[in-house]
Amino acid sequence: MKIAFIGLGNMGGPMAANLAKAGHEVTGFDLAAPMPEGVAKADTAAAAANGAEVVVTMLPNGQILRAVADDVIPAMSAGAVLCDCSTVDVDSARAVAEQAANAGMGALDAPVSGGVGGAAGGTLTFMVGGGADAFETVKPLFDIMGQKAVHCGDAGAGQAAKICNNMILGVTMVATCEAFALADKLGLDRGKMFDVVSTSSGYSWTMNAYCPAPGVGPQSPADNGYTPGFAAELMLKDLRLSQQAAESADADTPMGELARALYEQFVENEDGLGKDFSAMLPRFEGRGRG
Ligand code: NAD
């Protein structure tokens, strides 16, 4: 398949490399990042998109996605599919899908879970919004870049799934960290706390698979000085997107809003920038109620 890949950063680079390795003809464009092995370099996004059957984008945010869509949609052939894998706001995903449809193209919002390890290993999970035909066209590429692709519904449904999942993730991480800090103050051993909660009704991915307490549970960024993993500032980005979506859809999300405010304070006013999002635990340690 002839593929254009726009945005070859930490995630896009290895994703494009995997498509090229699988034998597809991949042309890339990025403002700064180098081309991975097997990917031909185009001088502009539009040049990369010209003649491509699928245009994949992996960009920082919705504003940049909208600008890139303005460039690439006029250059795409009728019937081609624009597949955005970035994490962006639902409104931008829907606006770009409409713009593509008006120009006779298919469009998918297909954000991913799995991080840079999943991008390199081809084990990402794709959550996909858009038409069934476009999904079938791109499915073989999802199968190369990932291990699972769920067609969640119409345009925006992929981004909706992503930000709802990550809102739960942010809220449960805060809850897990504050519970460990409370357990400390109550004199409860952290290992015992893990032993009980990980097999009781307080269990969660943040407790069982990504425990924020060093030396407790399976290996996690807490065991590596809270080097990300999943950085606190990326958690903040996703919590902001979920609150933006809640505002736009008139949904009441008080726990998500509180998690957003806590991560904002942690990243912008405290020392959370550059740390894993589980470093909320040392943040809570030693704090009182005041
Ligand atoms: P990144 O900053 O490493 O890569 C983004 C790339 O886009 C950069 O190379 C940048 O030069 C390029 N770019 C910016 N504007 C451009 C333009 N106008 N035209 C062409 N290229 C342009 O970011 P990343 O970590 O690869 O993340 C990309 C997306 O994936 C984000 O939306 C992020 O939220 C999402 N995501 C990241 C992770 C992760 O663990 N890093 C996990 C899941 C989802």
Task: Tell me which of 162, 185, 192, 237 is the catalytic residue.
Answer: 162
Taking only the tens of pLDDT, the chain with its 290 residues reads: 999 999 999 899 999 999 999 999 999 999 999 999 999 999 999 999 999 999 999 999 999 999 999 999 999 999 999 999 999 999 999 999 999 999 999 999 999 998 888 999 999 999 999 999 999 999 999 999 999 999 999 999 999 999 999 999 999 999 999 999 999 999 999 999 999 999 999 999 999 999 999 999 999 999 999 998 889 999 999 999 999 999 999 999 999 999 999 999 999 999 999 999 999 999 999 899 97
Q: How many domains does the chain have?
A: 2
Q: Which atom of ligand 1 is nearest to the CA of 8?
A: 9
Q: Ligand 1 center to residue 57 CA distance, Å?
A: 9
Same domain, 11 and 135: yes
Structure tokens at 256: 């998500």
Phi/psi-derived region of residue 217, left when phi > 0, alpha when psi is between -120 and 50, beta in every other case: left
Same domain, 244 and 128: no
What's the whole-model pTM score?
0.93
Q: How far is CA 36 from its chain centroid?
A: 21
**Known active-site residue 162:** yes
d(CA 55, CA 21): 17
Residue-range definition of the domain harbouring residue 267: 160-286
Q: Which of 153, 172, 194 is the last residue of a domain?
A: 153
Same domain, 167 and 107: no
Cα distances (Å, whole numbers) of residue 8 to 15, 37, 119, 123, 243:
8, 12, 11, 17, 28
Same domain, 193 and 135: no
Give residues (CB < 6 A) around ligand 1.
Answer: 6-12, 29-33, 45, 58-60, 64, 67-68, 86-87, 112, 115-116
Q: How much is the ipTM here? A: 0.99
Q: What is the dihedral of CA 86, 237, 227, 120, to 10 degrees?
A: -10
Q: Ligand 1 center to residue 184 CA distance, Å?
A: 38
